[in-house]
Amino acid sequence: MNPKTVTYEQLLGIFGCLALALVAHLGALPGWVLMTVAAAGGIRLLLARRGRAAPSRGVRLAVAALAIVLLFLQFRTFNGLSAGTALLALMAGLKLLETDTQRDIYVITLIIYFVSMAALLEGNSFWLLAYLIGVCWLTTATLLRLTGTQPIANWRHSLRYSGRILSQALPLALVFWLFFPRFAGPLWHMPDDGHSAASGLSDSMSPGDIDQLALSDEVAFRVRFASAAPPPQELYWRGPVMHDFDGRTWRHGYPTSLAAPPLRTEGPAYRYTVSLEPHQHNWIFTLDWPSHSDLPGGMLTGDYTLVQRDPVSRAMDVDATSYTRTQSSAPLSEPSRKRDTRLPANRNPRSLQLAHTLRASHPDDMDYLRAVLAMFTQQPFYYTLTPPKLAGNPVDEFIFDTQRGFCGHYASAFATLMRAAGIPAHVVTGYQGGTFNRFADYWIMRQSDAHAWDEVWIGGRGWIRIDPTSAIAPERVERDLSDSVSADEPLTSRWQRRTPWLSDARLRLDALGQIWRERILFFDQDSQQKLLEWLNIPEPDGQKLVMVLAAALALVLCWLTWAVRREIDPSRKEPLIRAYSRLCAKLAAAGMPRQPHEGAEDYAARIAQRRPDLGPAVTALCRHYSSLRYAAAAARIGVGQFDAAVRSFRPRINSKPKA
């Protein structure tokens, strides 16, 4: 057989590496692309197992042409991250179908490295990087088994050697990461091509929407306070505000043209950093009520929502300042009053009649507000994640029939009753509470912390926050296997209390991920500037950064040169050779160096002739060496025993050799 012809085992190994690399793209690549790669690999493995060659050239060309056409029809281009990654995967699969020689496997190996790099451009998770490092490690070990001039004993040796190669490349990668000149923004980001989406709050809310988020453990954002955090009952994180109501669904309405009423702040100012996860909207979650942020191009809308021009398509950090207690003595503008008192005609008539009845006996706005909250407290309203479905007039059915709901039901009903009484009100959606990570001193807001509450306008006080869900007593929380929360406790908190040890491990892992985000993903020009200052480089600039890069590269390359020369030194390559070299060095010190042409047993014979006192010991050691290195059968002792025998061998130098 041609030594360059691939075997079934080699094909199986490289196909396994390709499959592991494509696992990182399961959510991004089209299913038919993955199926094509799997079919191509399976067919080629089946043929190799039966000792047959690859399919004919005509068959391969036909399959390749059909796959390329389908790819173009789906993406309409071969450019971009998604289309390019799909093209790389198809190339690897089609190349595997025609693989006959080791050269073909080298090409597939190179594609595997590129496919792994593409996964890093799609996602920036620390765990994704760790997984892909493992894939590259295994791929390198597989490649070593194909290119070695001597057969490698087992996978353990291959993995150990490939790990040493990758570890030697680590200092070089670290130098480039720290000192290669950066752009203004984070380097680890590719533009979104529109094929990805993130879960979270939307710009509309119907009763029952947020209860789906309450079952999700996905992280929405994290918050680190500059000093003390507010009390837990004041941790309301403001998102989209719902103004337009059609009787069933509340919608955002984008009221950016209306000026926000001036606020008189009370209490301490809280400064914090919000670490946002990507989502498909342009709002930034901030603590009620935001007063300042460092968001470039950011603005506060008329309802105090912090927004930017484009959607939050990548992870980002925003520094902001908020006050949890405010007042406003200025009157509400007429456009705002009309917008936040508007109700649809002929919808929820029983609720409107209830509001008129309560209003007649409570003409004062605050008295009326308290009366509505008292209704939720005194009547048998229940809090549940699995409320009954509501039909045409959901507010009527919730208040008078089912009386079971989630925060969205209570916020919608309360705002409707306020508007029906002529009191401006709107629904605010966002997040409430959170989980404090005591191992890294920051708060984690998950989708399970999603919440809805209300804001009502009271003359002389301004907008005040009302959370009608908190009026539900804990004993009126319905629980079952999938719905074990209280009115003021999200799923995540309940789960963490039940499994504290698992919760601690989870928080530690999250802290590690946050370090990865802050120190690696957001390492930019400012970070490099701080690094140069930490190195005590006076007046650091771009020119000095390049000089530091050149100096660091020179040091690393010198170390790599020394390491490689040390690696290829035969005396250091094998434990057996090192032990034999130690034996020869001891005999040379005793006045009997080995000649370059002498084999081990010839050398032992000469030693026995000149030094009879050393003859038996040296002869036994040299025979053991020859047996370990050259004999086909297993030697009587192992390499470790031989090395121990050499270390214990002590030739006497003062003996007088024979002439």
Is 558 in the active site? no
Angstrom CA distances, 619 to 99, 409, 605, 612, 647, stand at: 51, 92, 7, 11, 16
Beta pairing partners, 431: 237, 450
Tell me, letter by letter, the H, E, C secondary structure of 98-133. CCCEHHHHHHHHHHHHHHHHHHHHHCCCHHHHHHHH
Catalytic residue among 17, 407, 584, 622: 407
Angstrom CA distances, 74 to 29, 196, 251, stand at: 11, 15, 34
Q: Are 48 and 6 in contact (CB under 8 A)?
A: yes
Q: φ and ψ at 214, to 5 degrees?
A: -65, -20
Is 622 in the active site? no
Is 510 in the active site? no
Catalytic residue among 454, 467, 622, 624: 467
Three-class DSSP category at 463: strand
Catalytic residue among 243, 252, 279, 451: 451
Q: Which residue has the tokens 């916020």?
A: 411
Q: What is the tally of helices (H) and strands (E) in the chain?
A: 22, 21
The C-alpha angle 257, 330, 343, rounded to 5 degrees, equals: 55
Residue 22 in tokens: 């494509």
Instruction: Name the DSSP letter for residue 387.
Output: P
**How many whole angstroms from its chain centre is CA 79?**
25
Half-sphere exposure of 9 (CA within 13 A, CB side): 5
Reading across the β-sheet that carries 286-287, which strands appear in turn?
286-287, 236-242, 425-432, 450-458, 462-466
Beta pairing partners, 384: none
* Cis-peptide into 32, omega within 30 deg: no
As annotated, the active-site residues are 407, 451, 467
